[in-house]
Amino acid sequence: MPESIQYTDMDFISKRVQNLASSATLAMSQKSSELRAQGVDVINLSVGEPDFPTPAHIKAAACKAIDDNFSFYTPVPGYMSLRKAVADKLSRENGLSFAPEQIVVSTGAKQALCNVILSTVNPGDEVIIPTPAWVSYIEMVKLAEGHAVTVPTGIDADFKVSPEQLRAAITPRTRMIMLCSPSNPTGSVYTRDELQALIDVLAPHPEIIILADEIYEHINYTGSFTSLGSFPETADRTVIINGVSKAYAMTGWRIGYCAAPLAIAKACTKLQGQYTSGASSIAQKAAEAAYTGSQQCVADMCAAFRRRRDLVVELASKIPGFRVNVPKGAFYLFPEVSAVLGKRFGDRVIATSGDLAMYLLEEAHVATVDGAAFGAPGYIRFSYATSDDNLREAMARIDAAIRRLN
Ligand code: PMP
Ligand code: GLU
């Protein structure tokens, strides 16, 4: 190398990663931890994770796994006992028929999603993503060099994509559609009829894979859940993503899975075998206990989230300039805030929802996430997976901060 050439740090970073956005949910949460470390009393409504500890019987199973020396490499797609427990769950709760061989256990649903996308999307393939959508979907498609085709929805449509919108988004290059119900970040839950209408559009397109993110399945206040895998017309090309993070308050244990057509499951196993191997042995044994043990903990946590949903909807609806719908699942509220945009706090102009999220962090000490990170500028996201006291205090602080704008 000629000595005169100067290299910057970024020269060492691949274009692939340079082009990738950082996770805004994790970044905002990190920022709020930093402020906390400086002694600022921040209420963190940015990251979405249950605030409950993992149920005792699940923790006990993990301790037993340690004592029983589950300390060796695990099979790449997961222990057969866990894959069987997942197949049983899919049959029992969702009426779906998957063989254990079609289940691939991963380090969180995040890896399961990324495995499926990297295993099926070729450069230039289009992936339809109705927005608002969880921050990582578009970035994972970018990693696969696919093209994310976003289809915007809004609060007036309860954030649901219509069959007409879906039909208009399909092209000869469409490879996949990603759907999340109950949704992060909106909390919307598609009814069976709404899903059927989307399936009717997809049925004549056997080349399109349906990637169904059902991680919030059990945080659902409607009393009914329809898995996208339950439509016979498209079942053979539907991939289900789920895991223990949300339903069993196990975000840190990092266990998720895909249930997929066998060829896709094998491809995910091949991929995972080259870059992470099987997921943690101890966490897999804990997840097995989650699926095979009593499900009372799931119902109890859902009831607590529902109560908080009612509280936060009531309080957020009173904040001037916030338009709020009633989320039917997950633990997020996604108010439309465009009436606040253009207002000022001294010299500071709140021009975008990103400015608003930053203003709320710095002036109200409440961490939220800019809707733009979910492909929906003009909105912000709160997670209400925190105590009633925190929620009351956070909403009071936001309300006061908004009223200080002029
Ligand atoms: N999908 C959605 C919609 C999520 O909100 C999350 C939470 N991060 C995930 C997938 C990934 O979950 P996990 O913790 O299992 O990786
Ligand atoms: N799903 C959570 C969220 O959206 C966790 C953070 C993340 O992985 O994005 O806040």
Predicted confidence (pLDDT) per residue in 97-153, tens digit: 999 999 999 999 999 999 999 999 999 999 999 999 999 999 999 999 999 999 999
Q: How much distance in Å is there from the Cα of 241 to the middle of ligand 1?
A: 9
Q: Give the HSE-up count for residue 34: Cα atoms under 13 Å, Cβ half-sphere.
A: 8
User: Which ligand lies nearest to the CA atom of residue 373 in the structure?
Assistant: 2
Q: How much distance in Å is there from the Cα of 254 to the middle of ligand 1?
A: 10
Site to probe by mutation for ligand 1, drawn from 46, 105, 129, 134 as the one with most ligand atoms within 8 Å of Cβ, is 134
- Spatial contact of 103 and 265, defined as CB atoms under 8 Å apart: yes
Q: Which of 8-22, 199-213, 369-383 has the lowest mean pLDDT?
A: 8-22
Alpha-carbon dihedral angle through residues 103, 120, 184, 83, given to the nearest 10 degrees: 10
217 burial via Cβ count (<10 Å: 0-12, 13-18, 19+): buried
- Spatial contact of 74 and 281, defined as CB atoms under 8 Å apart: yes
User: Which ligand lies nearest to the CA atom of residue 243 in the structure?
Assistant: 1
Site to probe by mutation for ligand 2, drawn from 49, 244, 332 as the one with most ligand atoms within 8 Å of Cβ, is 49
User: Which ligand lies nearest to the CA atom of residue 113 in the structure?
Assistant: 1
d(CA 255, CA 248) in angstroms, rounded, equals 11
Structure confidence by residue, pLDDT tens digits, 27-59: 888 888 899 999 999 999 998 999 999 999 999
Structure confidence by residue, pLDDT tens digits, 67-98: 999 999 999 999 999 999 999 999 999 999 99
User: Which ligand lies nearest to the CA atom of residue 374 in the structure?
Assistant: 2
Domain architecture of the chain: domains with CATH: 9-52+297-403 (3.90.1150.10), 56-292 (3.40.640.10)
Would you place residue 10 in the very low, low, confident or very high pLDDT band (cuts 50, 70, 90)? confident
**Longest CA pairwise span in the chain (Å):** 68
Site to probe by mutation for ligand 1, drawn from 47, 218, 245 as the one with most ligand atoms within 8 Å of Cβ, is 245
Strand ranges, E, within 153-200: 174-180
Strand partners, 127: 148, 176
For 34-94, the DSSP string reads HHHHTT---EE-SS----SPPPHHHHHHHHHHHHTT--SPPPTT--HHHHHHHHHHHHHHH
In this predicted structure, what is the pLDDT of residue 169? Answer: 98
d(CA 142, CA 54) in angstroms, rounded, equals 34
Q: Give the HSE-up count for residue 137: Cα atoms under 13 Å, Cβ half-sphere.
A: 27
- Spatial contact of 351 and 359, defined as CB atoms under 8 Å apart: no
Structure confidence by residue, pLDDT tens digits, 276-312: 999 999 999 999 999 999 999 999 999 999 999 999 9
Q: Which of 10-19, 133-142, 176-185, 266-275 has the lowest mean pLDDT?
A: 10-19
Mean pLDDT along residues 324-352: 97
In this predicted structure, what is the pLDDT of residue 201? Answer: 98
**H or E element, residue 366:** strand 366-367
Q: How much distance in Å is there from the Cα of 107 to the middle of ligand 1?
A: 11
Instruction: Report cis status (omega within 30 of 0) of the bond before 182.
Output: yes
What is the residue type of 225? F
pTM: 0.96
Ligand 2 atom nearest residue 48's Cα: 10
Residue having the nearest C-alpha atom to atom 5 of ligand 1: 184
180 CB less than 6 Å from ligand 1? yes
Would you place residue 8 in the very low, low, confident or very high pLDDT band (cuts 50, 70, 90)? confident
Q: How much distance in Å is there from the Cα of 115 to the middle of ligand 1?
A: 14
Helix, strand, coil tally for the chain in percent (to 5): 45, 15, 40
User: Which ligand lies nearest to the CA atom of residue 108 in the structure?
Assistant: 1
Ligand 1 atom nearest residue 109's Cα: 15
In this predicted structure, what is the pLDDT of residue 26? Answer: 86
In this predicted structure, what is the pLDDT of residue 2? Answer: 61
* Ligand 2 interacting residues, C-beta cut-off 6 A: 23, 25-26, 47-49, 134-136, 184
Mean pLDDT along residues 337-342: 97
Q: How much distance in Å is there from the Cα of 136 to the middle of ligand 2?
A: 9
Token readout for 158 is 């309860």
In this predicted structure, what is the pLDDT of residue 6? Answer: 84
List of residues 6+ apart from 86 with CB closer than 8 A: 98, 100, 103, 105, 257, 259, 291
Residue having the nearest C-alpha atom to atom 8 of ligand 1: 110
- Spatial contact of 291 and 270, defined as CB atoms under 8 Å apart: no
245 CB less than 6 Å from ligand 1? yes
Structure confidence by residue, pLDDT tens digits, 224-278: 999 999 999 999 999 999 999 999 999 999 999 999 999 999 999 999 999 999 9
Q: How many CB atoms lie within 10 A of CB 147?
A: 18
Strand partners, 105: 257
Q: How much distance in Å is there from the Cα of 3 to the middle of ligand 1?
A: 47
Q: How much distance in Å is there from the Cα of 72 to the middle of ligand 2?
A: 29
Mean pLDDT along residues 169-191: 98
Q: How much distance in Å is there from the Cα of 366 to the middle of ligand 1?
A: 22
d(CA 360, CA 133) in angstroms, rounded, equals 22
Name the CA radius of gyration of the chain, rounded: 22
Token readout for 300 is 């109890």
110 CB less than 6 Å from ligand 1? yes
In this predicted structure, what is the pLDDT of residue 1? Answer: 55
In this predicted structure, what is the pLDDT of residue 29? Answer: 87
Q: Which of 1-5, 21-25, 173-177, 210-214 has the lowest mean pLDDT?
A: 1-5
Instruction: Report cis status (omega within 30 of 0) of the bond before 320.
Output: no
Q: How many CB atoms lie within 10 A of CB 123?
A: 8
Q: Give the HSE-up count for residue 93: Cα atoms under 13 Å, Cβ half-sphere.
A: 18
Q: How much distance in Å is there from the Cα of 306 to the middle of ligand 2?
A: 19
d(CA 393, CA 389) in angstroms, rounded, equals 6
User: Which ligand lies nearest to the CA atom of residue 135 in the structure?
Assistant: 2
48 CB less than 6 Å from ligand 1? yes
Q: How much distance in Å is there from the Cα of 109 to the middle of ligand 1?
A: 5
d(CA 151, CA 94) in angstroms, rounded, equals 28
Q: How much distance in Å is there from the Cα of 181 to the middle of ligand 1?
A: 12
In this predicted structure, what is the pLDDT of residue 401? Answer: 97
Would you place residue 4 in the very low, low, confident or very high pLDDT band (cuts 50, 70, 90)? confident
Mean confidence (pLDDT) of the chain: 96
